[in-house]
Amino acid sequence: MSRYMPEGWNLPEIDDLNRQFFTSGKLLVQQCTECGTVQHLPEDVCHDCHAMTFDWVEASGNGTIYSYVIVHHPVHDMLRERVPYGVILVQLDDYPSIRIVGNLVDVDPSEIAIGKPVSVSFEEVEGADGEMVTIPQWVAA
Ligand SMILES: [Zn+2]
């Protein structure tokens, strides 16, 4: 999939904590090895029991739009041709405590609505250091 945002738009900064999430090509969430809580974004500490050890579990990639915003004002020159665009907050079907931000890439922003089912789709982009970054985006389900 080509990028939804303009070519050259910033990529996430990859570090040891988020590398699996942004490079695996799978929708992975952290699961605490002590209490089983799942969480996103990846963090050092479990939100529930404060343990610091995690496994990665793969989510189905299906969810629903929990909330969204339509961006009309280009906050950067690179976005002048991109606006209007939607930014959606997706609640995962199999891990409803988790919500992930992204773009709904195949739907006109005027058709975005809370409750619409979506599925994950990955954009593959080569980072500055040559590492492939897989950005979770969303398509109508
Ligand atoms: Zn825990």
Is residue 7 pLDDT above 90, yes or no?
A: no
Residues in contact with 79: Cβ distance below 8 Å, sequence separation at least 6, in sequence order? 5, 6, 71, 85
pLDDT, average across residues 120-128: 92
CB-hemisphere CA count at 13 Å for 27? 24
Distance 52 CA to ligand 1 centre (A): 8
Distance 105 CA to ligand 1 centre (A): 34
pTM to 2 decimal places = 0.94
The 10s digit of each residue's pLDDT in 102-121 is 999 999 999 999 999 999 99
Distance 48 CA to ligand 1 centre (A): 5
pLDDT at 27: 98
